[in-house]
Chain A
Amino acid sequence: MAEQAKSKWNSFKLEIITPERIVVDEEVEGVIIPSTDGLLGILRNHAPFIGTLDIGVIKYLKEESPHYVACNMGIFEMKGNMLRILPDTAERGERVDVDRAKKARERAEKRIQQRAQELDYLRAELALKRSLARLKAAEAAGVK
């Protein structure tokens, strides 16, 4: 348990890993996760938990300052003061390409207005949700 002795009394480990790479691997004090059942706050010593992740923004506190990560669907697990989030994609707020996200939002909105076929409609809805999450993360991280 040397690992835990090093960390602060109220902190735990957060890992955000996508199929392509490790996005976050840090000691944090709190995380808010967009689970499929709504927002979920996690602090140190949370009970073991496995849940599903929705499209949205993960917010975490590190040394009392907030950080934002836009994420796609996936799965997360909390166990032994270690929170592992495995989203399909994840992007730190400050790294979001705002222009691209805006374009994606416009494209998705147009498709939804055109009342496309059911499948396309669902896809457009997901695309819209993803672009909104990215914009939200960028805005929260202070990117214009």
Chain B
Amino acid sequence: MAEHTRDIKRRVKSIKNIEQITKAMEMVAAARLRRAQGRVESARPYSQKIDDLIKRLAETFSDITHPLFLPRERNHVGYVVFTSDSGLCGAFNSHVIRKAEAEMAQEEEATLIVIGRRGRDYFRRRDYNLLAEFLAIGDEPVVSQAQGIARTLVELYEGNIVDEINLVYTEFISTGRQQPVVFKLLPLAAPQIKEEDEMFEDTIPDYIIEPSPQGVLEMLLPRFIEAEIFRALLEAKTSEHAARMIAMSNATENADELIEQLTLLSNKLRQAAITREIAEIVGGADALQG
């Protein structure tokens, strides 16, 4: 019996150790989440303004053509899946992977570009064909990483290896809610003729364009693609931190519960042992008297 209580004590001790770790991880994730949220918000204006600019340019020059705008026959569809490098973040990776698989199941020819070690390992194990992989993004994605990814994607697209590129990433809605979404990156959607920027509500003016509409587009389009990828990276990273924080907070709570249960059990066992000992003593005394 003494053996048993000692076992329980040992388990409580090890759970306490684990709880310390999960608590620390929760706090780290919370701090990173706060920073990541700030970065997502400060990155938003740029991608929004560049989006507006493309729309306005297309309105003013309806005859603009660029290879990245032209729709193609969808023979090979590429999916870029944004996963994390490290684990212990709840269902973050499995949600986004499931979304990607569901999308790919609808295509005849789907290929993958994977960001993050978790996703790479998952798809490799299942013998998927990976066109490219980007690992070790780190806790704070930077623009140059987005540029590297953009370069590869545009090369794949211009080389006709894929005819469409979709980003599958986790959108950060709130700390408790993250949603896997699919965003069609290439070919660029032909902009709709609609003014949406409240700054400029007057009529479409005659722009002076320098050096030329084509020159402006060549400067603009790569930046637009990079901005979208950067945004996806930031959203995914923010969601990852949030998911990890929640997962770790649940683990900590669970540990507390387990410790409580085990303490109760060990107290009960101790009590039982004492009762039995008393019974034995009383029994012994009775026997002596008798």
Question: Chain A: residues with CB nearer than 8 A to chain B?
Answer: 15, 17-22, 35-37, 47-53, 73-75, 77, 79-80, 82, 84, 86, 88-89
Contact = CB atoms under 8 A, between A and B. Distances in A.
Contacts of B49: 15, 17, 84, 86
B149 interface: no
Contact of A48 (B43, B205, B216, B227): B205
Return the 6 tightest CB-CB contacts between A and B, nearest first.
A48-B205, A21-B42, A51-B210, A52-B219, A49-B208, A48-B207
A80 B200 contact: yes
Q: Give the size range of B's interface with the partner.
A: 20 to 34
B91 interface: no
B73 interface: no
Interface of B: 39, 42-43, 45-47, 49-50, 53, 56-57, 143, 146, 199-200, 202, 205-211, 215-216, 219-220, 223, 226-227, 230
A47 to B, nearest CB: 6
Nearest to A52: B219
Nearest to B61: A50
Given A75-B223, A86-B223, A52 B46 contact: no
Contacts of B220: 75
Contact of A86 (B46, B57, B207, B211): B46
Contacts of A86: 46, 49-50, 53, 223
A20 B223 contact: no
B200 A18 contact: no
Contacts of A22: 42, 45
Given A20-B42, A35-B210, A79-B200, 14 more contacts: A17-B49, A19-B43, A19-B46, A19-B146, A36-B210, A36-B211, A51-B211, A52-B210, A52-B215, A75-B220, A75-B223, A79-B207, A82-B200, A86-B223
Contacts of B219: 52-53, 73-75
